[in-house]
Amino acid sequence: MDGLVSGSDQSEWFPFCVIINLNFPGFFRTQAEVQDTFMTYTVYDDVITLKLIQEACKILDVSEDVVLKLFGEYFFTFCKMSGYDRMLRTLGGNLTEFIENLDALHSYLALSYQEMNAPSFRVEKRTDGAMLLHYYSDRRGLYHIVPGIIESVARDFFNSEVTMEILTQSEEKERTGEKEHVIFLVQQKAKRPKRKTKKTTNPESGDSHKDKEKALDVAFQTTKENYSALSCCPEKKSHWDIVKSVVKFGKGNLSHTFDPVYPERLWVEERTFCNAFPFHIVFDEELRIKQAGVNIQKFVPGLRRPGGRVDKYFTVVHPQVTFTIFSIRKFINSQFVLRAHREMLPDSRRNQPMLKLRGQMIWMESIQCMMYLCSPKLRSLEELEEQKMYISDIAQHDTTRDLILLNQQRLAEIELSNQLERKKEELRILSKNLEAEKKKTETLLYSMLPKHVANLLKEGKKVEAGEFNSCTILFSDIVTFTNICSACEPIQIVNMLNSMYSKFDRLTSVHNVYKVETIGDAYMVVGGVPVPIASHAIRVANFALGMRTAAREVMNPITGEPIQIRVGIHTGPVLAGVVGEKMPRYCLFGDTVNTASRMESHGLPNKIHLSPTAFRYLQNQGFEIVERGEIEVKGKGKMTTYILRQNLYATENEIMGRAEKQHSSHTDQMEADALGNLASKTIAVMKYADSQQLLTSSSLAYGFYSAIFCAAPMCPCLVGSCCSQVVTDQQQYDPGSQRMQT
């Protein structure tokens, strides 16, 4: 039974000997620090089981004995559902016989599962009708499973209720070391069938009185007929035997006893007996050999000389007890496995596997001797050949002949099952690794293209260009970048750009803006594309402030001082689409792109240059903005531009996405994941009033290229009218919290 909880998944066998996977939820396995999966037919250490049980006790706040008992009850049900209901029901006609034959079942299963470490059971009947169940195991701490299984067996198979109580628990020293010995008091009570309610009758009624007299007459007549039938018996019986026979002869027998008839003498010759049972040994209380079968003498020649001690030739392998008559009689109902000593075998057999015998010990009280009636313990035809034996060496009446042939097929099925499960586990691991690699590939792809665009391309669909009525574009470059390149090694330039762009890429997840591309030292970002969002200008402005702060952490390889960047921002309509097939890129087209680039090229070092349109979007939104004045812009003529200095209400940590005391919410993390950026797992996403709107829009992004976006601008601007209500009607953003207020 305690073999059950070693952690494997051999759930098809009975719990007393089976190794099973404990199907605890993943949470229990994680807390107990055990692996996620278990292989069938693989033996695992009991430590795994005990860890799971201890963790379950902590979480459920119950004791270990309660968990183990419930586990035993459940596993018995699980065994029946696994197809072993009939095998278990045939072990015995009552609970006592069932328990007495458990060791025999273990011995049979050991033919297929050599590593099985099953306990042993011994039943001791008491005069008051109760019984003592002795449980022996060298695996400690699992005996509480016994009541759960035995009570379930009694209730299901024998329609009776059983109560079990632990009387003693001790350690007994045996040949293989200390074994746990637990004695259970088992009291069995049969279930009483429900009585049918009888109709009440009037006691004064004459009909009721006549019915009683008639019933008594029938009972008396039946007893008289039974007694008359017994009077013909030629042998003389006592009065008690006659009464007992009458009761047993009736329809409702109280006892199902059978009295066998034994001959006065044994009608078998000694030679015939030794040939009919070629593998048997008879020895006395001092273990002196009296006789042995003919074939066992052939393989262990020393048995030809009676008088030697049997423990000189053999060792008890199962049950693991000392080789004494007292120990053997304690486990008289168990099947015994003996192994021959190598030095007692002929020289020609000493290099072969040790001979093992499996059989039954029978105590002969009249002559005070023990007979070991056995057969060779062989699992397959290969082992038969290794022992240089033949099927003919086994008696024809011995079922070992059939077991070897049947088990050969069973072992082949087990090996096939093992191969299939190993392949299944390999496929599971490969699938898991493939999924991890797929996520890496998708992450890389989503960093190059918008997520919904990438998904359309993966499905082989054509990506149509889409028009966005309002978005905000940002360009930045490094001041004196040409001079730096001329004075530095190429690797220094690469390291500087990589450090700067990594910081900028992280900021795109903080404010959920889309990085379009980088060309040399130029960095291009857009807000409101590919997913339209009302706060695109605010997000890009905060991103620009974060860029300026991050650039201070990147050093000029020539001077060793922080580099200086120029930033230009413009807001307006664009056309967006995927260009190319071999290396497709998501590009923006329109005059808005040119104007944003001009704002950057006409900007000042460490300044954020705003176009008039961008200024109108950011006005009264909590930013400090100063007018630069009217300047000549190439290709645009004279323009009044502005300088963005700071966000008056957002802290530097919020703009930079640095996690403070409290962690970002689940919604914030989902917002950062909208662009598929891995850095979202390590940043604090800045909150905006339309963050939830962005999540909803991202989930519907497959259709964002439709005409809906062309007809419904998403920003409060002079260009669009549909969404202008977002900031009109006395609705304004609260600059301090970046939330919309009425």
Sign of CA dihedral 615, 619, 622, 628: positive
CA distance 410 to 412: 5
> Which is nearest to 550 in space by CA: 695, 692, 679?
679
What pLDDT, on the 0 to 100 scale, is given for residue 646?
Answer: 94
% the chain with pLDDT above 90:
34
Find all residues with CB under 8 Å of 375, minimum gap 6, and list them.
279, 357, 358, 359, 394, 395, 398, 400
For residue 361, is pLDDT > 90?
yes
Count the neighbouring beta carbons within 10 Å of the beta carbon of residue 394.
22
Residue 284 three-state SS: strand
CA distance 293 to 276: 8
Report the largest interatomic distance among the alpha carbons of the chain, rounded to a whole angstrom. 140
- Determine what percent of the chain falls in helix, strand and coil, rounding each to the nearest 5: 40, 20, 35
What pLDDT, on the 0 to 100 scale, is given for residue 215?
Answer: 62
Q: At 406, is the pLDDT very low, low, confident or very high (cuts 50, 70, 90)?
A: confident
For the chain, residues classed under CATH 3.30.450.260 are: 278-395
Q: At 412, is the pLDDT very low, low, confident or very high (cuts 50, 70, 90)?
A: confident
What pLDDT, on the 0 to 100 scale, is given for residue 225?
Answer: 56
Mean pLDDT, residues 667-684: 49
Least confident of 80-89, 541-550, 663-672: 663-672
Q: At 112, is the pLDDT very low, low, confident or very high (cuts 50, 70, 90)?
A: low
**Which is higher by pLDDT, 694 or 174?**
694
What's the DSSP call for residue 83?
I
Whether residue 617 contacts residue 592, with contact meaning beta carbons closer than 8 Å, is answered with no
For residue 5, is pLDDT > 50?
no
Q: At 473, is the pLDDT very low, low, confident or very high (cuts 50, 70, 90)?
A: very high
Count the neighbouring beta carbons within 10 Å of the beta carbon of residue 402.
10
CA distance 150 to 64: 18
For the chain, residues classed under CATH 3.30.70.1230 are: 462-656
What pLDDT, on the 0 to 100 scale, is given for residue 117?
Answer: 76
What pLDDT, on the 0 to 100 scale, is given for residue 33?
Answer: 65
For residue 590, is pLDDT > 80?
yes
What pLDDT, on the 0 to 100 scale, is given for residue 211?
Answer: 62
> Which is nearest to 133 in space by CA: 156, 98, 99, 89?
99
The highest-confidence range among 186-195, 414-423, 553-562, 661-670, by mean pLDDT, is 553-562
Least confident of 323-327, 337-341, 381-385, 690-694: 690-694
> Which is nearest to 534 in space by CA: 269, 729, 714, 377?
714
Q: At 231, is the pLDDT very low, low, confident or very high (cuts 50, 70, 90)?
A: very low
For residue 641, is pLDDT > 80?
yes
Mean pLDDT, residues 57-68: 87
- Topology of domain 462-656, CATH: Alpha-Beta Plaits (3.30.70)
Whether residue 690 contacts residue 534, with contact meaning beta carbons closer than 8 Å, is answered with yes
The highest-confidence range among 101-105, 319-323, 410-414, 436-440, by mean pLDDT, is 436-440
Residue 494 burial (10 A CB sphere; 0-12, 13-18, 19+)? exposed
For residue 697, is pLDDT > 60?
no
Mean pLDDT, residues 565-594: 91
What pLDDT, on the 0 to 100 scale, is given for residue 739?
Answer: 31
**Which is higher by pLDDT, 82 or 134?**
134
- Joined tokens for residue 569: 């921002």
What pLDDT, on the 0 to 100 scale, is given for residue 71?
Answer: 87
What pLDDT, on the 0 to 100 scale, is given for residue 599?
Answer: 95
CA distance 722 to 715: 9
Q: Are strands 335-340 and 314-318 parallel, antiparallel or unpaired?
A: antiparallel
Least confident of 185-189, 199-203, 607-611: 199-203
**Which is higher by pLDDT, 149 or 446?**
149
Which H or E run contains 179?
A: strand 177-190
Name the H helices within 61-166. Answer: 64-79, 85-89, 95-100, 102-109, 145-157
% the chain with pLDDT above 70:
74
Q: Output the average pLDDT for the chain.
A: 78
CA distance 592 to 611: 10
Domain 15-189 sits in CATH 1.10.3720.10: no
Least confident of 277-286, 297-306, 471-480: 297-306
Summary count for the chain: helices (H), strands (E): 24, 20
For residue 459, is pLDDT > 90?
no
Least confident of 78-82, 475-479, 621-625, 675-679: 675-679
Mean pLDDT, residues 643-672: 73
Q: At 494, is the pLDDT very low, low, confident or very high (cuts 50, 70, 90)?
A: very high
Q: At 566, is the pLDDT very low, low, confident or very high (cuts 50, 70, 90)?
A: very high
Mean pLDDT, residues 238-256: 45
For the chain, residues classed under CATH 3.90.1520.10 are: 15-189
Q: At 12, is the pLDDT very low, low, confident or very high (cuts 50, 70, 90)?
A: very low
pLDDT digits (tens, 9 = 90+) for 508-518: 999 999 999 88
The number of C-alpha atoms within 13 Å of 684 and in the hemisphere containing its C-beta is 14
Whether residue 566 contacts residue 551, with contact meaning beta carbons closer than 8 Å, is answered with no
Mean pLDDT, residues 193-221: 54
Convert 446-481 to b/e letters by CB count within 10 Å (16 or more is b). Answer: bbebbbbbbbbbeeeeebeebbbbbbbbbbbbbbeb
Whether residue 330 contacts residue 251, with contact meaning beta carbons closer than 8 Å, is answered with no
Residue 741 three-state SS: strand
pLDDT digits (tens, 9 = 90+) for 715-741: 333 223 233 222 323 233 333 333 333
For residue 250, is pLDDT > 50?
no
Distance of CA 617 to the CA centre of its chain: 54
> Which is nearest to 100 in space by CA: 74, 120, 126?
120
CA distance 101 to 369: 23
DSSP class per residue in 532-596: --TTHHHHHHHHHHHHHHHHTTSB-TTTSSBP-EEEEEEEEEEEEEEE-SSS-EEEEESHHHHHH
Whether residue 701 contacts residue 530, with contact meaning beta carbons closer than 8 Å, is answered with yes
Mean pLDDT, residues 247-272: 69
Which H or E run contains 481?
A: helix 481-487
Residue 370 three-state SS: strand
> Which is nearest to 188 in space by CA: 118, 131, 146?
131
CATH label, 278-395, candidates 3.30.450.260, 3.30.43.10, 3.30.70.260, 3.60.60.10:
3.30.450.260
For residue 199, is pLDDT > 70?
no
> Which is nearest to 539 in space by CA: 668, 688, 709?
688
For residue 80, is pLDDT > 70?
yes
For residue 62, is pLDDT > 90?
no
What's the DSSP call for residue 436?
H
The highest-confidence range among 18-22, 257-261, 614-618, by mean pLDDT, is 614-618
Q: Are strands 565-579 and 608-610 parallel, antiparallel or unpaired?
A: parallel
Torsion of CA 531, 532, 535, 536, to 10 degrees: 70
Which H or E run contains 410?
A: helix 400-448
What pLDDT, on the 0 to 100 scale, is given for residue 288?
Answer: 94
What pLDDT, on the 0 to 100 scale, is given for residue 22?
Answer: 40
φ/ψ region of 477 (left if φ > 0, alpha if ψ in -120 to 50, else beta) reads beta
Whether residue 610 contacts residue 641, with contact meaning beta carbons closer than 8 Å, is answered with yes
For residue 48, is pLDDT > 60?
yes
Q: CA angle 701-706-709, nearest 5°?
A: 80
What pLDDT, on the 0 to 100 scale, is given for residue 702?
Answer: 41
Name the H helices within 185-269. Answer: 206-230, 239-249
For residue 205, is pLDDT > 60?
no
- Joined tokens for residue 276: 């009919």
Inter-CA distances, 160 with 85, 97, 153, Å: 18, 15, 9
